[in-house]
Amino acid sequence: AQKITQTQPGMFVQEKEAVTLDCTYDTSDPSYGLFWYKQPSSGEMIFLIYQGSYDQQNATEGRYSLNFQKARKSANLVISASQLGDSAMYFCAMREGLYSGAGSYQLTFGKGTKLSVIP
Amino acid sequence: DSGVTQTPKHLITATGQRVTLRCSPRSGDLSVYWYQQSLDQGLQFLIQYYNGEERAKGNILERFSAQQFPDLHSELNLSSLELGDSALYFCASSPTPDRGGGLAGSGGYNEQFFGPGTRLTVL
C-alpha cells in the first residue's frame, strides 16, 4: 500500500483564491512528521511546511497552512490568496520514527499535484 | 538558496558508463540523503549517511554506491548506466537525525534541505 497518496494529479485555481491540495498517509508508527515541498519548473525542492504527529495545533507558515486530521490520516495543504508564482508541483512527504531516534529518517513522497494558477 | 550544493548541474553520458555526483551539505549538517526523481518512479529515497557512516538504505540499486567523506561532502557513484537511470538526483541535508520535536510549522530539526539536483541523461 502506498504510504503517501495525493489523489489530484492536477489542479487549477484562480489567482487570489484559496486552494486545498489533498494528502493522505498510512503509517502504524505513532511518531511521524508530515512535510510539504514545492517544486517549480526550475526543479529545486522548496520546503513549505511541517506538521509533527504530536503537534496540537495545525501548522501555518505565511499563506500556507496544513489541515491536519490525525484520525483520518490526512494532511492537506491550504494555500490562501494564490499567486502566479505558486504554479508548481507540490509534494506531500512523511518521515516515520520521528521522535524515537531509531527511525530511518528518509522521506517518503507522494506522486505530487501539479498546481496551475490562472490569472 | 538552501545552502546545499550539487555538482554537476547536468550530466549527459552513454549506457554502460560510470558517473559521480557530488553533494556538499549545509554548514554543520551531519546527515546527507540521496533521492532519485524519475517520471515513472517519482521521488525515491536512495541512501542516507550520517557523519560518515551509512545510516539507512532505500531503493538503491547494487550498481549505485555512495560515501560521505570526513569533510561531510558526499558522492553518489552510478555505474553500468542504463537508459532507465536517467533522472534528477537530489541530495538533501539535515542536522543530527536523533533530535525529535520541532515547532509546528517550523520544520525544526526535521527539515531536509534539498540541493538543486543533478539532471542525469543516459543516451
At residue B85, does pLDDT exceed 70? yes
| Chain A contact present for B97, CB below 8 A | yes
Pick B110's closest partner by Cβ from A33, A104, A110.
Answer: A33
- Residues written for chain B: 123
Pick A44's closest partner by Cβ from B35, B94, B116.
Answer: B116
**Whole-angstrom distance, CA of residue B99 vs CA of residue B121:** 37
| Chain B contact present for A95, CB below 8 A | yes
pLDDT for the residue numbered A119 = 95
Kindly tell me the burial class for residue A106, based on how many C-beta atoms sit within 10 Å of its own C-beta (0-12, 13-18, 19 or more): buried
Chain A residues whose CB is inside 8 A of the B35 CB are 107
Subunit contact A44:B100, Cβ cutoff 8 A: no
By the 8 A CB rule, do B102 and B110 touch?
yes
pLDDT for the residue numbered B103 = 40
**Whole-angstrom distance, CA of residue A35 vs CA of residue B110:** 9
In which region does residue A46 sit, left (phi positive, over 0), alpha (psi from -120 to 50) or beta (all else)? beta
**Nearest Cα residue to B74 out of B88, B60, B53:** B53
CA distances to A6, A13, A56, B17 from A20, rounded to whole Å, are 12, 10, 21, 44
CA distances to A9, A78, B18, B63, B96 from A85, rounded to whole Å, are 19, 15, 38, 39, 33
At residue B110, does pLDDT exceed 70? no
- Coil vs helix vs strand at B67: strand
At residue B97, does pLDDT exceed 60? no
| Chain B contact present for A49, CB below 8 A | yes
Mean pLDDT of B91-112: 61
Subunit contact A105:B101, Cβ cutoff 8 A: no
Question: What are the pLDDT tens digits along chain A (119 aa)?
Answer: 679 999 999 999 999 999 999 999 999 988 888 999 999 999 999 999 999 888 889 999 999 999 999 999 999 999 999 999 999 999 999 988 765 555 567 899 999 999 999 99
Q: Which residues contact B49 (CB under 8 A, 6 or more apart)?
A: B31, B32, B55, B66, B67, B68, B74
